[in-house]
Structure formats: structure tokens, C-alpha cells
Amino acid sequence: MQRRGLETAVGLFVLLGLAALLFVALKAANLASFGSNDSYTLRANFDNIGGLKPRATVRSAGVTVGRVSHIGFDPKFFRGVVTLEIDSRYEFPVDTSAKILTAGLLGDQYIGLEPGGELKNLAPGSEIKQTQSAVVLENLISQFLFNKAAEAGTDGAGKSEGAKK
């Protein structure tokens, strides 16, 4: 009889451990929000969203103020349309700007909001007009290599090596 009680206790302990592991996995992957905060939506258009994903964080001054709820494409202007779910505790001025930033050198991308100075706030469903697209590492590397190749073809004074003869 005592052995059966021990087996039941071990089984409950294992189930609690699995539930805790599932909870941590969902929180780490940003797949579950266990809070029931009210939120409102904002939209922002970007020329290039880089590696931004749905459920990415929206931060202002380093504080998480919301999440990316949807990413779409505007076929008329050929731009990425990002829908943001902002916690209703936070309000931003109408001249707020949005940037796609990277956490660390090669980390996840997120939206950074920089509030402006206007007194009027963005209404739910509004569009953030001032945006800055993601910096794509491949484009920076190719631009650097192209500039170095162009410099190699000149002697530093703007004349090519072949023009010296």
C-alpha cells in the first residue's frame, strides 16, 4: 500500500514538471500570453521588414509595450504592412516613429517606437507615418565590398591606374 502512494507522488511530480516545461517553452517562444491585457492596433508600412516575424515584441525605451500581430503586403505600393497590438496602458503621440531593430548583432528583430512631441495621441487603428526599414546585413556587406572594389580601381586621387601611362 505504501508503494502505491509513492508511485502516485512520483507521477504527480513528473506531471507538474512537464507542465512547467511546457509553460517555459511557450513563454520562450512568445506563443502564449497568459495575461489578459486590453490592447489596441496600430499599422506601420515598411519598405523592407527583414526577418521580422509575427509575435515579435514592440518596445519603447527598452520596455515591451506590445507585439506584432500580423504582417502583410500592400500590392498597390509594394510595401510590407505590419499590424501592432499595443497594450492599452501605453499611448503614443501622433508623430511617433517606428523602426525595425535587431536585438544584439544577430538576434531577433523587433519594432522600436520613438514617441514624438505632439500632444494628440494615436487613435486605435491609426497608421504610424514615420518608419525606418530593417537594416539587411547582406546589403551592408555587398555595399562595403562594392565600395572596396571601386577604391581598388583608383589610385586614391580619382584616376584609374591605366590613366597614369
DSSP assignment letter at 79: E
The pLDDT value recorded for residue 158 is 53
pLDDT computed for residue 89 by the predictor = 92
Q: What is the chain's mean pLDDT, rounded?
A: 85
Chain center to CA of 121: 22
Q: Are strands 39-46 and 127-128 parallel, antiparallel or unpaired?
A: parallel
The per-residue pLDDT for 143 is 86
Q: Report pLDDT digits (tens) over 111-125.
A: 999 999 999 999 999
DSSP output for 139-152: HHHHHHHHHHHHHH
Q: Whole-angstrom Cα distance, residue 100 to residue 133?
A: 6
Q: Read off the pLDDT of residues 27-59 as tens digits, 9 standing for 90 and up.
A: 766 555 555 568 899 999 999 998 899 999 999
Stretches in the chain below the pLDDT threshold 70: 1, 28-37, 154-165
